[in-house]
Amino acid sequence: MKIPIQLQKKDYRFKLLGHWGFWKKNNEIHMMEGREYEKISKDKNWKPLGKAPHKGNTTEYSLFDSALKSHIQMKYNYGVQAGPGSLRIIDVDNEKLIPYFENELSTLTIETGSGGRHYYVISEYDKNHRFKNSGGEMRCKNWYVVGPNSTHPNGKMYKVVRDTEIQIISDIHLLKIIGPHIIKNNSTPILTSKDTSRSGKEFGIICSLLRKNKTKEEIFSEMNLYSKWANSSGQYRELTYNKALEIISKKIMNPEINKKSKKDDFVRASFIEDRKRKLLIEQLYDPVSKKNTFCIYDAEKDKYESMDEFTVEGTKFKPLLGEEIQKGAIFLPSEPIDYDSDVNLQNHIKKFIHKWLDIPSDVLQFAVWNILMSWVYELFHTINYLRALGDTGTGKSRFLDALGVLHYKSISTSGATTSAPVFRIIDKWKGSLIIDEADLKKSDEAQDMVKIINQGYEKNRFIMRCDTNNFDNIRFFDPFCPKILGSRKVFTDKAVESRCITHVMRGTNRKDIPLNLNKDFYDEALLLRNKLLLWRFRNYYKIDPTNKPKIDLGELEPRVKQIVGSYICLFSKDKTQLKIFKEFIGKHQDEIVYERKNSFDGQIVETIHKMLSDETKYFNNADIISYGELKGYNGNVLSTQVLSRMLKSLGFKKAKLKRLGNETKRVIPLNKIHLEMLFKRYGLDEVDLSTQKNLSPIDKFDTTDFKIHAHDDSL
């Protein structure tokens, strides 16, 4: 058996299938001959293994994989995977359709063992379809077919009947060919990308090129003649192209759309802002009627109304749909409700949280601020995360439930969830992410989740990922959104740790807290979300993060100031809340310094601090290890090589030779400003370095080109 030369490409993927003569019945495998096919194929108890993954193995193999080669050599069948390398397969089972496709296509064609056809094409069209009347399938991703030269369970071979190059075909051309035969689902658009195109002219040109059956590569090449397009970002190009492709695809699949006006085209979204008219459009969901609508708020008139759809600058918008809504996985408001005053709203939130959760008053107040901030988070450049830390049974999950249900468009997941759906749910809803059991162990998936947390505290920190079906297609995901985390241990990634405002859960002795969440919990939470929606409407254009009031936050570190600065806009004129805020953040920084001081880096810095306090004149790595009795993680004496790497990360320069009397010694050069900053950072008292003889005149004035590369990335 041999794989056709046209399929021998490094980007294509294959599956290992069973032997054509093997059948399974009652968990027993039998070897049957082809002449018995007619008899046993009608018995549902018999299952052919020649078209199924061998021993349940669904792994995809490259052409050069030894497992694939040995499998084929043993005369077992193999499968060709649709998707990788932009390979698409039109699988025709109904012989009446064959003349139609033979006339439309000129590509590698395989006659199947049952008399059907496999037409191989290369295209970027990526939606699977089934043909009418069980006529076959359009296989674009995650589906496979039995490979050429394999054997059908009836004993007939999958043979090449048109030995030619695989045809490259545009998305629209392919859709025109299969369109008349596929089962159409009008409720689901082919693509769901949001139109953020800056230019209707470019959009129209792309639509025109798509109608001419141009491929994506050809379209992008022609569009580069336009200076605005040529100088635009890759993300803008992808969004504009995808929107045009969506519109043209829908019209091809549903010809009757062409007879209607353009107002029948729409985009789904959960929030739209019309800055020209100062309108905010927010999605609502009524859990009783199960209906999704929009609430349109006029900021200039302070009025709102409910509508099923809304048009902004010629584009019609409708609410998002999804299983997460019906199953209650995402919490949306149902209608705006007056909250009387900011004070009353905050008191209501506090009362609700206190009823269901036991946390200190200062943490409770900060939780209220975090909830309010989440409802206008798009206005800020950086945000922090709330984190509940504690062992089983200390109330972490209740912390996430009681606070998460009030955050803006919150959706819950766990650290065990793979990263792909998390990327997409953030991209889809742009709400708050609640992550339980966020103890991320070392794995590829965990590293992706760390990226979401680590990059998602600041705007425009996009995460790039390759499309699994086309590695040349780079997708950009924006993980920026509020997050609440629950974990049993501190994060090993110190950058992630530094972005969290952490409360250590210790359980409770209160007897008045309900053991289980009930209808009262969800009803009152919905009422509060409705009040918070109106608060969002009324404050969205009032809060200006760029016009921060001049408030003395004391000796806070730059990272802490950066992350918590967004809260000040919420209560800058309230002296009482401002005082509570400053005290809370001061405690938070003290905890950061305490943890840093007790870290391994902290031991090294403290040893150097003691040596300077004892007026040790000159020292090197070995002196530090000896003085501080430093040991590694294995309990043995720390090596000078390891210490050298750690000193470098702390900002110290390489040791230099220095003559000391009649001998020379390698000593670590010191810098006055660097040491003062370092000691302050690790919570150590100042050392009067001006009187220390261990700073040479050169060292005293050498204040340039130093930098602290701290392990916890908190500068």
Per-residue pLDDT reduced to its tens digit, 602-611: 888 888 888 8
Whether the pLDDT of residue 100 is over 70: the answer is yes
Which helix (DSSP H) or strand (DSSP E) does residue 69 occupy? helix 66-73
Which helix (DSSP H) or strand (DSSP E) does residue 595 occupy? helix 575-597
CA angle 436, 465, 428 (to 5 degrees): 55
Whether the pLDDT of residue 381 is over 80: the answer is yes
Per-residue pLDDT reduced to its tens digit, 629-662: 888 877 888 888 888 888 888 888 888 888 877 8
Range of weakest confidence among 118-122, 284-288, 415-419: 415-419
Q: Report the distance separating Cα 432 and Cα 329, nearest Å.
A: 12
Instruction: Specify the pairing of strand 144-146 against strand 78-81.
Output: antiparallel
Tally of residues, the chain:
715
The whole-angstrom distance between residue 534's C-alpha and the CA centroid of its chain comes to 29
The whole-angstrom distance between residue 295's C-alpha and the CA centroid of its chain comes to 28
| Contacts by 298-307, CB closer than 8 A, 24 or more apart | 299/537, 299/538, 299/540, 299/541, 302/538, 304/336, 304/534, 304/537, 306/335
- Name the band, by pLDDT with cuts 50, 70 and 90, for residue 697: very low
Closest C-alpha among 283, 396, 398, 370 to residue 331? 283
Per-residue pLDDT reduced to its tens digit, 610-631: 888 887 778 888 888 888 888 8
How much is the average pLDDT of 41-53?
Answer: 78
Per DSSP, the residues of 91-130 read EE--GGGHHHHHHH--S-EEE-TTS-EEEEEE-S----EE
Cβ-based neighbours of 266, under 8 Å, separated by 6 or more? 309, 315, 316, 317, 318
Domains in the chain: ranges and CATH: 5-181 (3.30.2250), 200-260 (no CATH), 268-321 (no CATH), 342-548 (3.40.50.300), 599-701 (1.10.10)
Residue with tokens 């601020």: 369
Q: Write the DSSP symbol of residue 509.
A: -
Closest C-alpha among 420, 401, 235, 437 to residue 328? 401
Q: What is the pTM of this model?
A: 0.54
Dihedral sign for Cα atoms in the order 591, 597, 599, 601: positive
Cβ atoms of residues 273 and 379 within 8 Å? no
Closest C-alpha among 111, 109, 119, 112 to residue 162? 109
Q: Report the distance separating Cα 677 and Cα 709, nearest Å.
A: 12
Q: What b-and-e string marks burial along 116-151, b requiring 16 or more CB atoms within 10 Å of the CB?
A: bbbbbbbbbbbeebebeeebbbbbbbebbbbbbbbb
Whether the pLDDT of residue 498 is over 70: the answer is yes
Mean pLDDT of all residues in the chain? Answer: 83
Residue 138: beta bridge partners?
90, 129
Range of weakest confidence among 192-201, 289-298, 456-465: 192-201
How much is the average pLDDT of 21-27?
Answer: 80
Structure-derived torsion over alpha carbons of residues 341, 344, 350, 353, reported in degrees to the nearest 10: -90
Cβ-based neighbours of 508, under 8 Å, separated by 6 or more? 358, 395
Instruction: Specify the pairing of strand 500-504 against strand 385-389.
Output: parallel
